[in-house]
Amino acid sequence: MTFMTGVSAFPITPASADGKVDTAALRTLLGRLLAAKVDSIGLLGSTGSYPYLTREERRRAIEVAVDATGGTTPLLVGVGALRTDDAVRLAQDAKAAGATAGLLAPVSYTPLNDDEVFEHFAAVARASQLPLCIYDNPGTTHFTFGPALVGRISHLAGVVAVKSPAPDAGAVATHLAELRCAVPAGFSVGFSVDLNAVEALLAGGDAWYSVAAGLFPQICMQIVQAVRDKDATEARRLNARLQPLWELFREFSSLRVVYAAADLLDICRAVPPRPILPLAEPARKKVATTIRNLGLS
């Protein structure tokens, strides 16, 4: 499977206060991504608030996305859950609905060890037959994948990619090299953490799993095109232009910022799932000023 390259755009999942997905608003968000011709869509990622949605609502969101994309854009779907059997059912749902691959995080309450995470992936891959991307997101799961564990899981049948948090520029080349040495040839090594992702791409990363692209896909596609053109100067220039947005992500979290931006731009009226609160008015004004000054829409 070779689709895990370029920009994978991760939109929010608009929903009511009681967790019912707003399918019309989701279609609007997906339409923006399709118009920008993103390389893939990451549905129900952390930005998509997957842990806050029921199995039924997650399935409904996938069905909407599959219908919206019409099979033209690969769809990566979050299938993480506390229990392995629940993750299996979510992955089976995603496959049945037409998702291209699943994004599996080792969600936990009791901290997990490497053997437990390996068995979790083995069970979901075997039972669902859905291609899987390893989701390394220690900020939410409190579990960090070492290169050895990524390598071990990467040799499971059906595991095709890793989504790894990009470290600072000075460490990204070493981190990428360690992952490349651990995984099979052709295995996709991609990166999240928007503010560090450009250097990861320039170092040779395959994919950028992007929160910003879920709302502002055009400029993210421009950055990736510059990388593809081997124009590091242009890629860094465009990334530097987005520095005020990255600062907002640092200050308030990317999730809260993109919810506020979607509302301010009149794209959709969703609010984050409780107990997460919308940004207070002073922060909203800061977001509004930033997106206006950057010319983002």
Q: How would you classify residue 290: left for phi > 0, otherwise alpha for psi between -120 and 50, otherwise beta?
A: alpha
Choose, from 135, 209, 259, 286, the residue flagged as catalytic: 135
- What is the rounded CA–CA span in Å between residue 81 and residue 104? 8
Q: Is 109 a catalytic residue?
A: no
Choose, from 50, 95, 163, 259, the residue flagged as catalytic: 163
Of 188, 184, 213, give the one whose Cα is nearest residue 131: 188
- What is the rounded CA–CA span in Å between residue 11 and residue 8? 10
Q: Is 135 a catalytic residue?
A: yes
> Is 47 part of any known ligand binding site?
yes
Of 247, 255, 248, 188, give the one whose Cα is nearest residue 39: 188
- Structure token digits, residue 233: 């100067």
Cβ neighbour number for residue 22 with a 10 Å cutoff: 18
Question: Does an H or E element contain 57, and which?
Answer: helix 55-69
Residues designated catalytic: 135, 163
Binding-site residue ranges for pyruvate: 47
Binding-site residue ranges: 47
